[in-house]
Amino acid sequence: MKTISIFDRAGAFAENKDTAKDIRVNGILPALNAGEDIVLDFEKVDAATQSFIHALISDVIRKLGSAALDRMSFKSCDPTIKKIIGIVVDYMQEGLGPE
Amino acid sequence: MGLFRTLKIPFDTPFVEHEPAGRFIPITQIRNSDELSSFITDMVPLLHLEPEQARTIGYIVSELARNVIEHAESEHGAFLCAQYYKKSNSIRIGIADTGVGIKATITRSHPARTDLEAIRLALRPGITGTTSREGGTEQNAGAGLFFIKSIASINRDFFVIYSGGALYKLLKKPAGSSPRLHADPFLDRHSREEDLPAWRGTVVGADITLDRTAEFSALLDAIASTYKAAVRERVKARHKRPRFI
């Protein structure tokens, strides 16, 4: 199991989408593709924007389907971050379909 | 605010420059992602915000400025300023760019005949100029402006967006009325105008009344249900219908 600290990469206010992309492309996707489970650790992160969370996980759900959520966990999220993750996960699953 | 300095116009009249701390953020140019991240880090102590307020203001600034950096194709990036008003205990935020404007970006993926139609689409959840695909691209969801309008709407605050020759203004909701979110901005209490003098680019303004700032968490519940309903409606609209003969 691989754990990625969001605070270490994005700071207390996680809003930089370039950082989110870097975590996704170089951390989350390679680990999941290699069969490893992922823990995204939000310890010490006070807030995150919807854009950051979208850039972090939407493409993972699109590429691997909702099954990716069985292998990806979100640790130590405060209630607002939990809700933002919930919104992104919901609309990605609702909207998975043809272009 | 540093208007003349920003515009590089000589200004010889003597004046007293106020200390920004606790009062305002002078006009600041933001050209890239790293400049934005530094700006947000510096902004919170400058405006002496409480943590809950800082979260809301930081959120708005980040989403608006990232829209400019990613979509506006503006040579000069974004120009942003904010001012604290003690009497109303509110912060007014303004952000402007001289990029291609909303119509040019949104019509890459969605049809819009006018600047106002483009603004209407841009304010809807899940509509982005980067793709017509539901859920957006890996980097864009088309949710940023909807979130900001929602924050203003729930807090009964003012929000305005001007691009090309069109303007949309979310009007303050009267106290006592129950604030409700709509996916279609034209269903909110608003005013709109077309055929205004053209602004090549986009301008957004928002007033956030600090002592009325709703718990961000409660706001997200309302956003979640409105967003989900809007996506469902769009997906349903694409469903094939049974052919009865």
- Predicted ipTM beyond 0.95: no
Confidence (pLDDT) at A99: 41
Distance CA A85, CA B159 (A): 26
Identify the residue with better confidence: A31 or B134: A31
Write out chain A residues lying below 8 Å of B130, CB-based.
none
- Residue A83 has its nearest CB partner, among B33, B141, B220, at B220
Q: How many CA atoms lie within 13 A of B81 on its CB side?
A: 10
Identify the residue with better confidence: B132 or A73: A73
How close A91 comes to chain B (CA, Å)? 6
Are B114 and B102 in contact, with CB atoms under 8 Å apart? no
Q: What secondary structure letter does DSSP report for B165? A: T
Confidence (pLDDT) at B219: 79
Q: What secondary structure letter does DSSP report for B99? A: S
Size of interface A-B (CB pairs under 8 A): 108
Tokens of B89: 């205990």
Q: Give the residue carrying structure tokens 């939990």.
A: A82
Residue B234, exposed/middle/buried by CB under 10 A (0-12, 13-18, 19+)?
A: middle
* Backbone φ and ψ of B119, nearest 5°: -65, -45
Distance CA B22, CA B33 (A): 25
* pLDDT exceeds 60 at position A10: yes
Q: Per the CB < 8 Å rule, is A15 touching B141?
A: no
Tell me the average confidence (pLDDT) per consecutive run of 10 residues in chain B, 245 residues long.
Answer: 76 74 83 89 77 82 92 92 86 93 93 95 89 82 88 85 96 73 92 94 90 70 85 78 72
Confidence (pLDDT) at B22: 66
Write out chain A residues lying below 8 Å of B224, CB-based.
83, 86-87, 90
Tokens of A45: 């992160």
**What homologous superfamily is domain B33-169+179-238 in, according to CATH?**
Histidine kinase-like ATPase, C-terminal domain (3.30.565.10)
Q: Which of A51-55, A88-92, B139-143 has the lowest mean pLDDT?
A: B139-143
Distance CA A27, CA B217 (A): 29
Q: Per the CB < 8 Å rule, is A95 touching B135?
A: yes
Q: Is A18 left (phi over 0), alpha (psi -120 to 50) or beta?
A: alpha
- Residue A58 has its nearest CB partner, among B41, B138, B217, at B138
Write out chain B residues lying below 8 Å of A86, CB-based.
224
Exposure string of B27-59, with b = 16+ CB inside 10 Å and e = fewer, is bbebeebebbbebbeebbebbebeeebbbbbbb
Residue B217 CB coordination number (10 Å): 15
Q: Taking the CA atoms of chain A, what radius of gyration do you get in angstroms?
A: 12
User: How many angstroms separate the Cα of A32 from the Cα of each of A23, A61, B52?
Assistant: 12, 11, 35
Q: Per the CB < 8 Å rule, is B138 touching A62?
A: yes
Domain ranges of chain B: 33-169+179-238
* pLDDT exceeds 60 at position A46: yes
